[in-house]
Structure 1
Amino acid sequence: MKLEDELNPVIIIIFHILVGLYTLLTFIPSCLFSMFSSSDQIHYGSEQDRAKRTKARSVSGKPEGPYRAVSATTGLQTTVQPGVDTLDKMLAYAAQKFPNSDFLGTREVICEEDEKQSNGKVFKKVILGQYRWLSYQKTLSAARQFGSGLLALGQKPKTNIAIFCETRAQWMIAAQACFMYNFPLVTLYSTLGGPAIAHGLKEAEVSFIITSRELLETRLKAILIEVPRLQHIIVVDDSPTSWPGFPRGITVHNMAAVQKLGERPENASCERLQPLPSDIAVIMYTSGSTGAPKGVMISHRNILAGITGMVERIPKLSEEDTYIGYLPLAHVLELSAEMVCVSNGCRIGYSSPQTLVDQSTKIKKGSKGDMSVLRPTLMAAVPEIMDRIYKNVMGKVEDMSFFQRTLFTLAYSYKLDQLSKGNSTALCDRLVFRKVRSLLGGRVRVLLSGGAPLSADTQRFMNVCFCCPVGQGYGLTETCGAGTVSEMWDYSTGRVGAPLVCCEIKLRDWLEAGYRSTDKPHPRGEILIGGPNVTMGYYKTDPRMQEDFVVDENGQRWFCTGDIGEFHTDGCLKIIDRKKDLVKLQAGEYVSLGKVEAMLKNCPLIDNICAYANSDETYVIGFAVPNQKHFQALAEQHGVRGSFIELCNNQTMEELVLKVLTEAALAAQLERFEIPRKIRLSPDPWTPETGLVTDAFKLKRKELKSHYKDDIERMYGGK
């Protein structure tokens, strides 16, 4: 018998004795604390009890809805503070209430170094210092100066201005200036390709654009000839101060110089045209998972309504909170999250995916990532990033000693059980999960997930290891990112929560796929979101392309999402399908590609997967990016040799991966016809830079189909 087999029962017994003693010793103090705690503290009970608590109900009494949050007792809510009905008023309110509080934080760059890798590649590494902060009052002044400077240069109210820049403090200052001076802000992702950038700039007819030095030199400069209306480029970096080599008619300015221009008495005294709630605040170009990006017109009222709904779901927001901003501000999730912070006086410390944690690609070994220095209390993430964290930590768990791994597994199982009962686990949190929690700085109290469905395994992992609730949400650019967010005390998985207080949701039958609001036990159908957060439509788009926006007999706007959902008895929504992801096979079976991908992404062997099916074929195929560590271990186990690229092109490895995925699919209870029969392995990860996924890491099916065109023909036998 192995020593591990002898130790295992002993470790389990010791663990349960320690936990039992701890529970016994803390039982009386916890009861006393409950008795004498403040009256506003709520004890939510077990997971079963929480599931019974009603979060939303159908206001019509019919199964199709509309469903409204039980907390929306006085109708749909549109403002966080009375009288604050435009975004410029929100910043003015925050600057008045929290004038000297820290607002926007940027880490000081101490030095940059080129680090040569063993394969000859050179990576740029940075050593960063502490965060430097701008207060709310100074940010208000900086925004006012910048807006006044733009006005002096010739930017007109109600005339579009574009921002094409990475997430940083200057982005927010520029946006606040545009809100203040009623310049509709056209947002473009910093990872968009040249044709998409040119399309957005030409369609919006901008003559001013705000950008960074890097993006100007690497992306924007090459397409200037395609945008003849462009006259002024404002660079947010301080240096250089002169910009030669640009086409005639285009002037490049530094942001600091524009602010100084706005400080001049003759410009500072100019009267500004204040925006109305119905005025356009943002024209947000979507990342375009299908076709060319579309500009979504978002009014001041829309954004304020959306963040009002989000604020209600995040408990005890205050100036004591610190949010880490690293997702693209051109995405509605990040912009809404940061505006939530503005409404409550929170700090926003800026970061990037390349400097986020100690192990990030640009952080020099031995120095600290932004999470470790900032130690945020609030964080938003897309499921792709959470899945990476989950796989990374679980990979490290596998490398632990037997004793450490057993202790971790026992603590994990114990805490899961205690969470389901509504109990805290201070001992486990301190002894076992403290090191994992420190990866995010050690203070995160709320994690907000959006952009795509979050797997149950990843959500449970974040709940347990990071010792904080994960608020899973659902919304679209067309609804200002607002739709639903789960209550922070609701630890159920696979659901996105109840409608926010700013909107309501109803279901529409989709008979073609067999979804009806009369379905038992849960009503099902296409999700329609209605309320003041529903945006104004698509910019300069054919009316026929606006058919997803409808107005009912009461004048309320609704957006038809194309997503299929079901409402549970407590009023929580679950996303179960998507119209555009549904493919009918030759034999008549419907396959939800998104559902297949969601199930298979939980497999540790792969980092990403795209399912594909032709309607004139009888089976599903797939493209997958393997997890290098697990993939090479599988190859070694079966005696297959070669580099990572060679292994990805090896037919034997394709068959081995397919076997593992088939087992995972059957375990997830997928039907046989839903399981990919053939697969293509990709050694290159899918990133926004490759153009195969959006900035929110959603699959671009059209681009993936084109990229793997030859492989599709091969896997379908040359058809």
Structure 2
Amino acid sequence: MTKITNLGNKNSAIMACCTATEAIRLPIEMSHQSEIIKGNEQIHSSKFFKDSKNGMFISFLSDDARTLYETFRRGSYESNNGPCLGWRDSVTSKYQWMTFNETLLKAKNFGCGLVNLGVRPHDLVGIYSSNRPEWTLFEQGAYCYSLVVVALYDTLGPDACAFIIKQTDMSTVIVEDDIKANMILDKAPHGLRRLITITDSIRSATITRAKNRGVDCFTFDEVERSGSKQDHPVVPPNPEDICTICYTSGTTGNPKGVTLTHQNVVAAMCAVLLQLGDQRPRYGDIMLSYLPLAHMLERCCENGIFYSGAAVGFSCGNIRNLTDDLRALKPTIMPAVPRLLNRVYDTLMSDLSGSPLRRLLYNTALKAKESELNRQIIRKNSIWDKLVFRKIQESFGGNLRLMIVGSAPLAGNVMTFMRCALSCIIVEGYGQTECTAPVSLTICGDSIPEHVGPPVACCCVKLVDVPEMEYFAIDNQGEVCVKGTNVFRGYYKDPERTAEVIDSFGWHHTGDVGMWLANGTLKIIDRRKHTFKLSQGEYIVPDKIEAIYVKSQYILQNFVYGESLKSGIVAIVVPDVDVLKSWAKENHIPGTLSVLCSHKKVKELILNDMLSWGKQNGLKSFEQVKDIYLHPDPFSIQNGLLTPMFKLKRPQIKNYFKPQLDDMYTHLP
């Protein structure tokens, strides 16, 4: 295995763009960012692919790279066998690197080893692991023999994992370690025959337990060595072949398996690369992998990086050590979710709250950088970068030039702050697993926040009426519907639920409510689901209300809840620990966070601030909470109250806080 440590010189040309004072080139006219396909439905399409306006969409950028098997090899050629996969063994060690050729060889050997075990082309094979190099080795090894990748992850739970293994007839699952092996064995269906552990630390008791269930255990290295000794001719996939089934975490019922082809993923990847234009990934770039590879946002980002001949470095796996990973890797490209960026913003605001002088300096710096941002000047060498924003930039490694934000809406003030503070291109996308991640993406250089850009070149978008919520397409508002080469085939072995979201004309109905802005960009304004009707007949959209209340400096998270037999709504609120403790200290109120959450004055403070924010943002009286319960522990993936993409799991939160919700309703007038 080759160890490459001197990546700093390889991206010097890339970093030159971060210190230039010239404005970046806007690829299209900002006042007219999408085309309208002729007809009565106001269908919007991309301006980056000329045939989009005729209802044709991009499937690939190069004829020799139409599957993920081919795009990886194209990337190897582009990089001239440059660094591909990076990792480190601990938070104190340096990153070491595997080249593209090494990756291809190891992947081929592992795929060949799977064939030796009896896996056949087009079989479905599972992986249950955090992000690490072996994830990519398995994925690319699978594509060598047209296998289908199915990812499992912690928040699915043992019942859902067992359901997936049974539904897909998987006989083989790659697991990260002994713990995950036992989680699979807890409710392993009869069809499971093999567990392949990535680490060698599997206990003999686990091996015995597996054998008693008719399951053989192997290590990742054993399978790879087996494949290196007995070669099997590769069976490359076709574009129309399924490459992955991505199971949505779901909040009710069994998870749904989103069936995606190689064409789906390559089309989505290529549409984003095409729109990024001059800012797209290229040889010398490095991306940090830390978002779950079980989901399509991260999968598409990584495969796009490999296609471009760039490298991926994996985090150590603990989100608490993310800053250490960033400082060690110094990535140039990074995907991000609003939860991470909101924490960075909130921490800074908390730090500034006690120093009027620092706040004045910050506001002056932000105003100056925002002025440059509006003129498309992106640089890291201004006086404000050195005096005010250097620490934030260094906490992200210091070399970022491109960040892609997705999974949930990001507040406009936070987006503008991050663009100014990080001094890099930040684009925000909207999408769904069913659309292979991207549906729309903001244009590089567009400094206006709070929209998700025009459709990407692999699809078109229209809005349809949602009469029960008073959204109508004639007013440029309605449910977002998508058609294109990125739209999934359907839910695996589930035609009924497929028919619920894909209509007879091939349009995928997302359940999200959007609005066309005057410049041809899309803004997500609501969610068709997650609505409930109060006893007086008024509809409540909790997502909208939660987005307003979370603007309060005292709130980290909140969950708005209502019942059809009640006339008002209530909320579970997780306070921001730093802000609340600072307030308590100033007001001479002692106690831990748990004690403060039970304090009458604290509850009054937070409830009044929520109502004030609601009034400022136009909430009607029935949309304002009538009572709140303060809870000291955040909703998280670990406690089962957030999805892996950090969205609220509403039924689970409702069940978890049922006593508190019932109590609040009991005492409401």
Match of 1:71, SS state, is coil
* Alignment deviations for residues 193-234 of structure 1 (CA, whole Å, 9 cap, x no partner): 22222221122121100011154256334333xx22111111
Question: Which residue of structure 2 aligns with residue 454 of structure 1?
Answer: 410
What are the ranges of 5 or more consecutive residues in structure 2 without an aligned counterpart? 1-19
State which of 328, 349, 361 in structure 2 corresponds to 1:394: 349
Is 1:299 equivalent to 2:256 in the alignment? no
How high is the TM-score relative to the length of structure 2?
0.91
TM-align CA RMSD: 2.2
Deviation of 1:542 (Å): 4.3
1:68 match: 45
Q: Which residue among 417, 441, 466 is the counterpart of 2:422? A: 466
* Structure 1 CA distance for aligned equivalents of residues 356 and 275 of structure 2: 41
CA contact (8 A) 1:80 1:343 kept: no
Residue 550 of structure 2: which of 601, 607, 611 is its match? 601
* 2:75 aligned partner, one-letter code: A
Aligned to 1:406: 360
1:187 to 134, 138, 151: 151
Code of the aligned partner of 2:626: R
Query: For the residues of structure 2 that align with 1:545 and 1:108, how far apart are their CA atoms?
Result: 43
Asked if residue 717 in structure 1 is aligned to residue 649 in structure 2, the reply is no
The correspondence for 1:321, drawn from 285, 303, 307, is 285
Give 1:385's match in structure 2, choosing from 340, 350, 353. Answer: 340
Name the counterpart of 1:338. Answer: 302
Native 8 Å contact 2:78 2:308 kept in 1: no
Say yes or no: does 1:55 pair with 2:33: yes
Q: Residue 247 of structure 1 is aligned with which of 191, 195, 210?
A: 210
Contact preservation (8 Å) 1:379, 1:444? yes
1:449-492: CA deviations, max 9, x gaps?
A: 11111111211111111112321101100000020010121121
Inter-partner Cα distance in structure 1 for 2:489 and 2:300: 17
Any idea what the Cα deviations from partners look like across 1:271-328, whole Å, max 9, x if unmatched? 2332221111101111213433211111111111111111123224211211000000
Which deviates further from its counterpart, 379-388 or 640-649? 640-649
Structure-1 residue corresponding to 2:8: none
- CA shift, 1:591, in A, is 2.3
More off after superposition, 209-218 vs 300-309: 209-218
Partner of 2:137: 173
- Please give the per-residue CA displacement for 1:553-587, whole angstroms capped at 9, x wherever unaligned: xxxx3210011101112210000111112222223
Q: CA deviation at 1:82?
A: 1.9
8 A Cα contact 2:178 2:202, kept in partner: no
Partner of 2:452: 496
Distance in 2 of aligned mates of 1:252 and 1:652:
58
1:231 paired to 2:193: yes
| Aligned with residue 572 of structure 2, among 604, 608, 623 | 623
User: How many residues end up aligned between the 2 structures?
Assistant: 638
CA distance in 1, matches of 2:576, 2:433: 31
Q: 1:551 to 1:300 in 2, by over 3 A?
A: farther
CA change 1:455–1:259 in 2 (3 A) is same
Q: 1:649 to 1:258 in 2, by over 3 A?
A: same
Instruction: Give, in angstroms, the shift of residue 448 of structure 1.
Output: 0.8
Residue type of the partner of 2:349?
M
Mean CA deviation greater in 644-653 or 593-602: 644-653
Distance 1:581 1:240 in 2: 43
Partner of 1:205: 169
**Which of 551, 554, 561 does residue 612 from structure 1 map onto?**
561
Query: Percent identity between the aligned chains?
Result: 30
- Mean Cα displacement is larger for which, 189-198 or 703-712? 189-198
Q: Deviations over 1:626-654 (max 9, x none)?
A: 11111223334444433211222334422
Letter of the 2:500 counterpart: E
Aligned counterparts, 1:22-421, within 5 A: 43-44=25-26, 51-52=30-31, 54-60=32-38, 62=40, 64-74=41-51, 75-109=56-90, 127-216=91-180, 219-224=183-188, 227-239=189-201, 244-248=207-211, 249-264=214-229, 267-268=230-231, 270-314=232-276, 315-352=279-316, 354=318, 360=320, 369-399=324-354, 401-421=355-375
Q: 4+ residue stretches of structure 1 with deviation over 6 A?
A: none
Is the 1:289–1:693 Cα contact (8 Å) retained in structure 2?
no
Answer yes or no: is the 8 Å Cα contact 2:26–2:444 preserved in 1.
no
> How far apart in 2 are the matches of 1:316 and 1:662?
44
Contact 2:24 2:377 in 1 (8 A): no
C-alpha change, 1:417 and 1:97, in structure 2 (3 Å) is closer
> How far did 1:42 drift?
5.4
Matched AA of 1:395: S
Q: CA deviation at 1:99?
A: 4.0
Decide whether the 8 Å contact of 1:87 with 1:180 is kept in 2: no
The 8 Å contact of residues 378 and 424 in structure 2, kept in 1 or not, is answered as: no
The amino acid across from 1:374 in the alignment is L
Quick check: 1:548 aligned with 2:501?
yes
Distance in 1, matches of 2:398 and 2:562, equals: 44
What is the Cα deviation at residue 391 of structure 1? 1.1
* Residues 111 and 141 in structure 2, CA contact (< 8 A), matched pair in contact too: yes
Whole-Å Cα distance in 2 between the matches of residues 189 and 546 of structure 1?
Answer: 26
Question: What do residues 354-409 of structure 1 show as CA deviations (whole Å, max 9, x unaligned)?
Answer: 25xxxx3x58xxxx71100111111111111111121122222335x543332122
Read off the aligned partner of 2:177 and give its amino acid letter.
R
Aligned partner of 1:244: which letter?
A: I
Q: Which runs of 5+ in 1 are unaligned?
A: 1-32, 110-126
Q: Deviations over 1:602-638 (max 9, x none)?
A: 2221111111111222222111111111122333444
Q: TM-score, normalised by structure 1?
A: 0.85
1:244 positional shift: 3.4
The 2-side partners of 1:220 and 1:650 are apart by 44
Q: Deviations over 1:2-34 (max 9, x none)?
A: xxxxxxxxxxxxxxxxxxxxxxxxxxxxxxx99
Q: Distance in 1 between matches of 2:360 and 2:24?
A: 35
